[in-house]
Amino acid sequence: MKEKVVIIGGGVIGLSSAYYLIQAGYDVTVVDKGEFGEACSRGNQGWICPALHEPVPAPGLMTESFKMLLQKDSPLYIKPSALPQLSGWMSQFMKYCNERDFEDGETALLTLSQSTLKLFDSLQSEGLDFELHRKGILFAFLHQENLNNKIKRLENGAAVHGHESPVALSAAEVRDLEPNLSNQVIGGILLSKQYHIRPESFSKALTRKLAASGAELLPHTEVIDMERQGHEVIAVHTKSTRIEADHFLLANGAWSGTLAKRIGYALPLTAGKGYSITATNPKIHIQRPLYLGDVKAGITPFDGAVRMGGTMELSGINTKLDKKRLQGIRSAVSGYLNEDLTGDMEEEWTGMRPMTPDGLPVLGRVPDYKNLFVSTGHGMVGMAMAPATGKIMSDLIHSGQTEFNIQPFEPNRFAV
């Protein structure tokens, strides 16, 4: 008889883990309190750009820039009224805002992401039908200093970790590639080998594949507790049923910390709220993803649509859509284009990205439990990291080992 795994969370991390566990011969049940892939997996930019991965806590972020962080148009915004509830998490976050921890975290992410592009190629070759583009990514800048800083980091990632080497472009060369960029753009950087996907199509492809492979999929089913026996979890409880299994994977994003607390595992998570605006049949044509380097926003073209997104808001776990933050994205984008980016219809979105204090995911077996695993905290790189993460979790559940170096992502690293 097959061993059974219950995965709590039907976002892109949980679905990817289910995909590889099915391949490894497990009986898999995926449980989500909403629809699969409809939380923070749904409205992001879909960039599969491993060369860009870096932790959010950065040197000097909480000292010289703190006043800026309280302004609503800041790329990273901390809502003042949320500071009391965030105080414990923020105090840990501040400890990682230094050069040594940033470089260690960047190294960990860049090392883990070395196989990212190949894994997406493999998924497509294995029959997953989702929207994937291999058009690279173009960085556009209004200020030379910001361009210089970014190319230096990308060059280091290429030299040390084998990621794609960046190509510096003049203002004219940038506009040759994207004629709708404004004259205010002074230059750019091209990474021609990076990918992007339509996130919704990827989640739906995984869901279809899992259903066809015999996985049990339970949307609109919230896990409210875990039943323990010694050092093992033996079942999860929803509002209406009890589900037994041999192994359990906690992968429900920003909400993972609440459930972890119920079984005595302290997982310091908060939500990094992201925003996007998706316009169908856009009035101007963008050929490839644009990273707007001075404002840390982006524009992503899809088949028949374009998405503007950016910002990281720390305001606790809530799905309230702040119109001022959306207007901030529109204003940021307008400074880089010849005309406003609009379409026939526009969809406004916000999602809760799971954030750890050190900006790194949490991957592995939960301390003190033999059969409970956790996979969350990917922040802004969950979509790109999903295949690697899914493979890692399948490996760990199956054999307790993985080919990837996951020591920096140990679940017990925040233990006091």
Using alpha carbons only, what angle is made at residue 212 by residues 211 and 218, rounded to the nearest 5 degrees? Answer: 10
Judge whether residue 207 has pLDDT over 70: yes
Name which residue leads in pLDDT, 62 or 120: 120
> Where would I find the H helices in 24-82?
66-69
Q: Which residue has the tokens 């995926």?
A: 30
Confidence of residue 338 (pLDDT cuts 50, 70, 90): very high
Specify if 83 maps to a domain.
Answer: no
> Which residues make Cβ contacts (< 8 Å) with residue 206, sequence separation at least 6?
12, 15, 16, 18, 19, 37, 128
Which residue segment(s) compose the domain that 387 sits in?
Answer: 1-50+98-131+196-268+357-416
User: What's the domain count of the chain?
Assistant: 1
What CATH number does residue 39 fall under? Answer: 3.50.50.60
Taking alpha carbons only, the member of 272, 396, 400 closest to residue 17 is 396
- Kindly state the tokens that stand for 223: 């896990």
Task: Give residue-wise pLDDT tens across range 355-369.
Answer: 999 999 999 999 999
Specify if 74 maps to a domain.
Answer: no
Cα(152)–Cα(106) distance, rounded to whole angstroms?
14
Specify if 406 maps to a domain.
Answer: yes
Specify if 16 maps to a domain.
Answer: yes
Instruction: Tell me if 56 sits within 8 A of 353, measured CB to CB.
Output: no
The identity of residue 303, as a single letter, is D
Cα(26)–Cα(335) distance, rounded to whole angstroms?
51
Specify if 239 maps to a domain.
Answer: yes
- Kindly state the tokens that stand for 401: 């080992």
Specify if 217 maps to a domain.
Answer: yes
Specify if 10 maps to a domain.
Answer: yes
- Kindly state the tokens that stand for 6: 């219950």
pLDDT at 65: 60
Q: Which residue has the tokens 């809502």?
A: 79
pLDDT at 75: 78
The identity of residue 114, as a single letter, is Q
